[in-house]
Amino acid sequence: MKVGKITIIGAGNMGGAIVNGLLKSGYIEPSAITIADPRKNVLEGFQAKGVNTFQDNLEAAKTADLVILAVKPYHVEKVIDQIKPALTLDKIIVSIAAGVSLSDLAKLIGNESIIFRVMPNTAISLQESMTCISGNGQADAHLETVQTLFDQLGKTVVIQEELMAAATVLASCGTAFALRYVRAAMQGGVEMGFGAEMAQFITAQTVKGAVQLIMNTGHHPEREIDKVTTPRGITITGINEMEHKGFSSSVIQGLIASFNKIERG
Ligand SMILES: NC(=O)C1=CN([C@@H]2O[C@H](COP(=O)(O)OP(=O)(O)OC[C@H]3O[C@@H](n4cnc5c(N)ncnc54)[C@H](OP(=O)(O)O)[C@@H]3O)[C@@H](O)[C@H]2O)C=CC1
Ligand SMILES: O=C(O)[C@@H]1CCC=N1
């Protein structure tokens, strides 16, 4: 079933990106979208796009069929307290707060409620998110509705909740990790003679093409790497030097550090 009215609580990086992705998708009318945030100035831009805006979270949540909690993890409890009177059992509640479990949410909202934990990334604004979804027992009957909604905003997978911390690191933090590679390559490009703008253009298109090589074929990355690394050639010299300096190991250790941060707080 297609979702009716959506309310997003929190108009920050992610709340705003979700609204922009929804508007771009045309999946639902701007008038069926509501966003709430205490800051009036951030709401004005959304109002201009025909989206309903509120500084009062409870008012914003009242009319919704589906409420997305897009506030920082440490604001989730306070926000749920504010909107609880509007969280009737027929409403779908979606939290994107990192590290806030379904059982944490059920304690605050109620065991009978329909609750999803969803982990998107900032590319949701361009309908290019990787979004991981899990839900509680009541959520099963509404999974298609929620997955179809996020399918409009990129790619989705339904996962066991125990994998949600790993999903957060790979897919949500992953945007920043990938862009650090891009930045580092740009810095190298500038040292070799390109201006920053040209270095960014060349690096970004190269990364996009490399990603498409594995996405379009399903090939393992090493299969495509093998096609680039001429024996005694230039690429293997650079790759081996990166590995001597700990490239793969640094990436893995960074992922695990982020994972431990979610798991241990
Ligand atoms: N950023 C990312 O890439 C991702 C983030 N997430 C999760 O999404 C959530 C939001 O992150 P992000 O968008 O980056 O954070 P932001 O701080 O950018 O956005 C949160 C917004 O909520 C506002 N806010 C604060 N208190 C309230 C309140 N009581 N009621 C309504 N709005 C309030 C904030 O205002 P103010 O700034 O004034 O406090 C801010 O505008 C987090 O839980 C995070 O873990 C998940 C996936 C990816
Ligand atoms: O860094 C964070 O805590 C959030 C969650 C995932 C991406 N950004």
Closest Cα to atom 1, ligand 2: which residue? 173
Q: Which atom from ligand 1 is nearest to the alpha carbon of 172?
A: 48
Question: Is 72 flagged in the annotation as binding?
Answer: yes
Write down the pLDDT at residue 14. 98
> Which CATH number is associated with domain 168-264?
1.10.3730.10
Question: Is 57 flagged in the annotation as binding?
Answer: yes
* Burial category of 229 from C-beta neighbours within 10 Å (exposed 0-12, middle 13-18, buried 19 and up): middle
What digits encode the pLDDT tens for the residues 34-71?
999 999 999 999 999 999 999 999 999 999 999 999 99
The closest ligand to the CA of 98 turns out to be 1
Pocket test for ligand 2, best of 129, 131, 164, 172 (most atoms within 8 A of CB): 172
Residue ranges in the chain modelled with pLDDT below 50: none
> Which CATH architecture does the domain made up of 6-159 adopt?
3-Layer(aba) Sandwich (3.40)
Write down the pLDDT at residue 265. 79
The closest ligand to the CA of 74 turns out to be 1
Structure token pair of residue 182: 């891009």
Write down the pLDDT at residue 248. 98
What is the rounded CA–CA span in Å between residue 192 and residue 49?
44
Per-domain residue ranges of the chain: 6-159, 168-264
Write down the pLDDT at residue 1. 87
The closest ligand to the CA of 13 turns out to be 1
Could you give the C-alpha distances from 93 to 11, 172, 204, 232, in angstroms and in order?
17, 20, 36, 56
Question: Is 111 flagged in the annotation as binding?
Answer: no
Write down the pLDDT at residue 194. 98
Do domains 6-159 and 168-264 share one topology? The answer is: no
The yes/no answer to whether this complex scores an ipTM above 0.95 is yes
Ligand 1 near 9 CB (within 6 A): yes
Residue from 109, 145, 116 nearest 133 by CA? 116
Structural contact between residues 59 and 84, judged by C-beta atoms closer than 8 angstroms? no
Write down the pLDDT at residue 66. 98
